[in-house]
Structure 1
Amino acid sequence: MTQEKLQALLTSLISTWENEVVEFKQAGNEYSTNRIGEYFSALANEANLRGTEKAWLVFGVNNKTRTVVGSDYRPEPERLQSTKMQMAENTEPSLTFRNIFELQDAGGRVVLFEIPAAPRGLPIAWKGHYYARAGESLTHLGLDKLDEIRQQTSSADWSAQIIPEATLEHLDDQALQKARESFARKYANRFPPEDVMDWSLPTFLDRAKLTQDGKLTRTTILMLGKQESAYLLSPHPVQMTWKLEGPERAYEHFGPPFLLNTTALYRKIRNIQLRILPDDALLAVEVAKYDQKVVLEALHNCIAHQDYTRNGRILVTERPDKLIFENEGGFFEGTPEDYATGEKTPRRYRNPFLAQAMAELNMIDTMGYGIYTMHIGQARRYFPMPDYDLNEPAAVKMTLYGSVVDPAYSRLLIQKTDLPLDEILALDRVQKRLPLSDGMIRQLRRDGLIEGRKPNLHVSASVAKVTASKADYIRTRAQDDDYYCKLITDYLKKFGKASREEIDKLLLDKLSEALDADQKKKKVGNLLTKLRRSGVIRNDGSKKCPEWVIAE
């Protein structure tokens, strides 16, 4: 750019003065490179948010008088231009000045740094921190602005992009065979399995939503690509990493095909059998430390929801008592608590093409049941519920427990098999010393499930206690729900119908003596609701005076 054009540019910038995309400094020779980096991050991010192509950092202008006073910042041309490399080395993703201009003004030497706008969807960090502007002031990039930038590419699905140079030769034969088998099982009622196996490879890939009109996508390589095909997704590392922490340490990286290697990673986890034996119990309960279905559900969720534009790997850390799953990208829609009960269905996915393909291969569902499934799996094994850490805005960390936290909690779940999920979730918060709503505290207290005063609540040991007397143990032992449900259906088949009073008379004396009268009534109500929802029985009476019959 000529000196005349630079002079006109400087005059224009001074006339509009400082704003979110222009910053003036007098700046001497020793001006901090770290400070320049902070302004680089802030101005690049603000230029992105305001839809401008660039921003300007100008040295040699007095802030108060708005006049050129000159700057002796790095007068040597090579040293001045080396600032570009310093920016590139410490920004994430790597970015640097588009140009560094020197203007010999009448008032002295002026240095103009031309800063490109942050790329769409990628805020710029300096040494791990994101900066922004509040008027003329430098500040940290708030979550609202961070989300605004990151959501810019939400409409551009990374996983759906076609890779022109990819061919069928880049795909793994074993993964393709597994994909066909999974697809055939999912659609066994629609296609004969032998037909799926006979389809041409391009036909199968299109029907399994892995390709677009025969063209291979990033999803195709991610799920089915050979290990040596990972370069096609560069700069993404295409890795899941298992790391063992504790008395022994180890790690292993797993690349494509993810369809096979999620199971390979699971096999690295030390999944022993554990015996849960409360102090006063007669019989031990033996469970696996981790449920394979729960572990794979967590890992598949990481793959489906990963923000691949951030070029990070999925990390599974195995500690002696837990697994920690980490993936790039904030929780995409809602919060984990929204999905715990299985009632919320997501309206959108970060990677819709990838999510659809994984659903076709029976790896995930797209109805939001994944977190619910993991909670149910943990409850059935009497272990704590999964924990989510969303403190880092650009990542999700989930902890899956492989041990007992509070023996009273596990003992209670072993004995009371009919607890609704909302109460189990609440008891899990009690054992972890997390806050509860006053309404839930009253409910748990009413059911005799917790003791103590807020905030020092704890799971009731008396409810979960198994006595040392064998006779008492038999009387207090709860039968499986299927046993009680069969009593109800047998009664209705024999007598045609039954009122609630007749059902109570049938069951109350057969329920565990560990339950009080109110708990037994609630148990019967839960059994009737379970049978009704599953379509086995129906109420031909009213809500106040029910008349239960077998549903036809």
Structure 2
Amino acid sequence: MTPVELNNLLEQLIATWENEVVEFKQAGNDYDTDKIGEYFSALSNEANLRGMDRAWLVFGINNKTRGVVGSDYRMEPERLNGLKNQIAQATEPSINMREIHVLNHPNGRVVLFEIPAAPRGIPIAWKGHYYARAGESRTSLGLDKLDEMRQQTLQQDWSAQVIAGASLTDLDEEAVRRARESFAQKYANRFAADEVMNWPLTAFLDRARLTQNGQITRTAVLLLGKAESAYLLLPHPAQLTWKLEGQERAYEHFGPPFLLNTTRLYQRIRNIQLRILPQDELIPVEVSKYNQQTVLEALHNCIAHQDYTRNGRVVVTEQPDQLIFENEGSFFEGQPDEYIEGDKTPRRYRNPFLTQAMAELNMIDTMGYGIHLIYRSQVQRYFPLPDYDLSHPSEVKMILYGGVVDPAYSRLLIQKTDLPLVDILALDRVQKKFPIPDEAAARLRRSGLIEGRKPNFHVSAMVANATASKADYIRTRAQDDEFYAKLLTDYLAKFGRADRTEINKLLIAKLSEALSDQQKQDKIGNLLTKLRRNKRIVNIGTRSQPVWRIAG
């Protein structure tokens, strides 16, 4: 918003004063984050219940005079924007502050927190507790309001809606047969396979949660519908797209039935065998570029969690060394990192009817193990772990690697099959040049698994001593300062003098390739300063254009 628009908004909010979706605080420079989180939960939930798309928490207003007095809360923009991450981490499901607006009012600085309404059917909790408003007061979310919000899910689940005019003839016979087989396999301890195969079709579809009292739902068409029945879902494009990028380019679209066509999409992916040479061995380990179960798990997750109301498609992009899975809608319950260990169980789903049907057909599980299984599969195949990109608020991207990033990392997984997952996660970030927590770095260093200085860690020599990786290790390993000092002093002893250009030419090629160009320049500058202070070299040039020679 422009300053004029913000000022007009502030005047309107003050004129109507505090209510269920507006709260004013004077707020000093250190307002309690937990209190902000509680207001965030309360205002977000109330905005949902009142059919509004946002609520407001405003700092810099005196409650008694109802006038602007200014607030010093988090004056630095970085700290202020950091609140968004704090809110996202402690709300459940994770939700972001829309915007934090700062208005430089003549009477002082005003901070306006734009809080999004809770999604339909999903109350927002702060650190496990649900909050609401009673007039101007913050209170717990009562059972009546909680029930009212949760009822919204049943009314608005896109996948559960019955399609008027659709019939059993709109379903694909092969998909129905495969669905019966999958259902019988899942419940083999309860039903004989022949019994399931002989159930009346309407009875089977109801038991598999695909229909409602024999009526065809959107879920039934998505999973079992004929290709020509996709029009029943318009304007929502029920479509999966495979796209090939690289030297060759190609694409193909897949419609219903998804139960069959996810496998057909997988078959379009180029899945060759790759060889990884273990440390100190001559016989390579062969692994497939992609594991079929892993690819289908990722694709089925996209289908289950897609926000179909956004009228988008699920896209799988094949690049030379990775697959990128994209689906519409934010990550729905928590964050991906919470599911890696396999301990978190989601409590709600964007498409509960569709999710339940997919579970009945053995396409997914509903206990949150999917991400854990994908990570474990990559570890067992010695490949980098998946990465999630949640930078866009309305889409989820998952990158699945189909090649080696750092040979030393892959050799380490071959050698050390008992590494805990937490260490593998940290090592994976090291090989991708991502930062890792200090505690993880200290633990890996004590175990002899990494070397280097923060932030330029790399796999240690213990892991990277195979013939194929020795050269890479030497190029990235940082030498002692004395090594570079001797190179320089030997040069000066032979040639008498050297300016900075000549010194750069001498040393830059010798420095660790893990350093950036600027870091290399800084290291050389620090080395010259250290040698000058130790009176080993002197500057016989000017301050702006130094020329160095041996001291004495």
Which of the five TM-score ranges fits, normalised by the shorter chain?
A: 0.5 to 0.7
1:413 shift after superposition: 0.3
Is residue 412 of structure 2 the alignment partner of residue 412 of structure 1? yes
1:229 shift after superposition: 0.6
Instruction: Give the alignment of 1:41-60 within 5 angstroms.
Output: 51=50
Q: 1:131 to 1:425 in 2, by over 3 A?
A: closer
CA deviation map 1:140-183 (0-9, x unaligned): x9884276579686552111111121100000000000000000
Is residue 272 of structure 2 the alignment partner of residue 272 of structure 1? yes
Instruction: Give the alignment of 1:402-441 within 5 angstroms.
Output: 402-441=402-441
The residue aligned with 1:259 is 259
SS in 2 for 1:461: coil
1:277 shift after superposition: 2.2
The residue aligned with 1:308 is 308
User: Structure 2 counterpart of 1:209, which letter?
Assistant: R
1:452 shift after superposition: 1.5
Instruction: Give the alignment of 1:217-256 within 5 angstroms.
Output: 217-256=217-256
User: Structure 2 counterpart of 1:203, which letter?
Assistant: A
Q: 1:184 to 1:408 in 2, by over 3 A?
A: same
Are the equivalent residues in 2 in contact too, given 1:223–1:259 (CA < 8 A)? Answer: yes
SS in 2 for 1:463: coil
1:281 shift after superposition: 3.5
Is residue 119 of structure 2 the alignment partner of residue 145 of structure 1? no
1:219 shift after superposition: 0.4
Are the equivalent residues in 2 in contact too, given 1:163–1:216 (CA < 8 A)? Answer: yes
The residue aligned with 1:495 is none
Are the equivalent residues in 2 in contact too, given 1:310–1:328 (CA < 8 A)? Answer: yes
Is residue 152 of structure 2 the alignment partner of residue 181 of structure 1? no
Q: 1:356 to 1:52 in 2, by over 3 A?
A: closer
Are the equivalent residues in 1 in contact too, given 2:183–2:360 (CA < 8 A)? Answer: yes
CA distance in 1, matches of 2:113, 2:221: 36
SS in 1 for 2:243: strand
User: Structure 1 counterpart of 2:285, which letter?
Assistant: V
1:307 shift after superposition: 0.7
CA distance in 2, matches of 1:142, 1:315: 34
1:201 shift after superposition: 0.1
CA deviation map 1:343-390 (0-9, x unaligned): 111111111111110011001000000000000000010000000000
Q: 1:295 to 1:52 in 2, by over 3 A?
A: closer
SS in 1 for 2:342: coil
Is residue 453 of structure 2 the alignment partner of residue 453 of structure 1? yes
SS in 2 for 1:330: coil
Are the equivalent residues in 2 in contact too, given 1:160–1:353 (CA < 8 A)? Answer: yes
The residue aligned with 2:401 is 401
The residue aligned with 1:326 is 326
Are the equivalent residues in 2 in contact too, given 1:281–1:467 (CA < 8 A)? Answer: no
Q: 1:286 to 1:437 in 2, by over 3 A?
A: same
CA distance in 1, matches of 2:448, 2:52: 64
> Could you list the runs of 4 or more consecutive aligned residues of structure 1 that deviate by over 3 angstroms after TM superposition?
16-22, 48-54, 130-135, 141-144, 146-155, 278-281, 463-468
Are the equivalent residues in 1 in contact too, given 2:120–2:153 (CA < 8 A)? Answer: no
Are the equivalent residues in 2 in contact too, given 1:331–1:396 (CA < 8 A)? Answer: yes
Q: 1:21 to 1:174 in 2, by over 3 A?
A: farther
Instruction: Give the alignment of 1:41-440 within 5 angstroms.
Output: 51=50, 144-145=115-116, 148=119, 154=153, 156-277=156-277, 280-440=280-440
147-156 vs 293-302, which moves further? 147-156
CA distance in 2, matches of 1:251, 1:21: 56
Are the equivalent residues in 2 in contact too, given 1:305–1:349 (CA < 8 A)? Answer: yes
User: Structure 1 counterpart of 2:222, which letter?
Assistant: L
User: Structure 2 counterpart of 1:302, which letter?
Assistant: C
Are the equivalent residues in 2 in contact too, given 1:408–1:461 (CA < 8 A)? Answer: no
Are the equivalent residues in 1 in contact too, given 2:279–2:465 (CA < 8 A)? Answer: no
Gaps of 5+ in 2: 1-7, 17-46, 54-97, 106-111, 123-148, 469-552
User: Structure 1 counterpart of 2:282, which letter?
Assistant: L
Are the equivalent residues in 1 in contact too, given 2:279–2:466 (CA < 8 A)? Answer: no
Q: 1:207 to 1:169 in 2, by over 3 A?
A: same
What root-mean-square deviation, in Å, do the aligned CA atoms of Structure 1 and Structure 2 show? 3.4
SS in 2 for 1:318: strand
Q: 1:250 to 1:147 in 2, by over 3 A?
A: farther
Number of residues of Structure 1 aligned to a counterpart in Structure 2:
356
User: Structure 2 counterpart of 1:331, which letter?
Assistant: F
TM normalised by structure 2 equals 0.59
User: Structure 1 counterpart of 2:257, which letter?
Assistant: P
User: Structure 1 counterpart of 2:236, which letter?
Assistant: H
SS in 1 for 2:462: helix
